[in-house]
Chains A and B, each alone.
Chain A
Amino acid sequence: KQEVTQIPAALSVPEGENLVLNCSFTDSAIYNLQWFRQDPGKGLTSLLLIQSSQREQTSGRLNASLDKSSGRSTLYIAASQPGDSATYLCAVSQASGANNLFFGTGTRLTVIP
């Protein structure tokens, strides 16, 4: 069974710092990988989706990379802001026709003003 791990579980950085969040998965046969943001008491919001054939995907200050062969993805956040404080989760899909995603436990990010 696919297992998705996110380390560290929590991270605090000063405002303005660039940072990297990590996601690893045990089975490299994935179809795509998604990064989500979850604010306290709220649902998940999709940030970026990377297809298995892609190496990276960018949206504004966010850049997600994927190294399928090594089972790793990173989410790079540039010039962090207090509004970036949230829990970030990654999830992998095993096939285009799959109906389940395998989620990591998330990294709780705090950006200190």
Chain B
Amino acid sequence: NAGVTQTPKFQVLKTGQSMTLQCAQDMNHNSMYWYRQDPGMGLRLIYYSASEGTTDKGEVPNGYNVSRLNKREFSLRLESAAPSQTSVYFCASSEFGAGANVLTFGAGSRLTVL
């Protein structure tokens, strides 16, 4: 009963470096999401994947790319990290769309960009 697993939990990058955050779920959910959480702000949607093979932009997609590798896995890539991308990143999944279904969240990945 792992739920949603994110790796890594912590990462420090220098400006301009690239990295990929990995996310996997074992609940056979169709939809997956990447959110970022910043102090004083609510969680904001970066990208989502409504079903395997599809991805769409959320509220704050600039500077990020995603890949829905298969039904289980949804990765988030920062091609050239910037200090403004310092944040805590959460992956989530739901059986179908977030509008009508409960989301299950991973434990988060704390990213610092120097």
Contact = CB atoms under 8 A, between A and B. Distances in A.
Contacts of A93: 98-100
B43 interface: yes
A31 B58 contact: no
Contacts, number: 75
Contact of B90 (A43, A98, A99, A105): A43
Contact of A34 (B33, B56, B97, B102): B102
Interface in A14-42: 31-32, 34, 41-42
A4 B105 contact: no
Tell me whether chain A's interface is mostly helix, strand or loop, or mixed.
loop
Interface in A59-113: 89, 91, 93-106
Given A41-B107, A43-B106, A100 B98 contact: yes
B2 interface: no
7 contacts: A34-B102, A43-B107, A43-B108, A44-B90, A97-B100, A99-B45, A99-B97
Interface of B: 4, 31, 33, 40-45, 48, 50, 56, 58-59, 90, 92, 97-100, 102-108
Interface of A: 4, 31-32, 34, 41-46, 49, 89, 91, 93-106
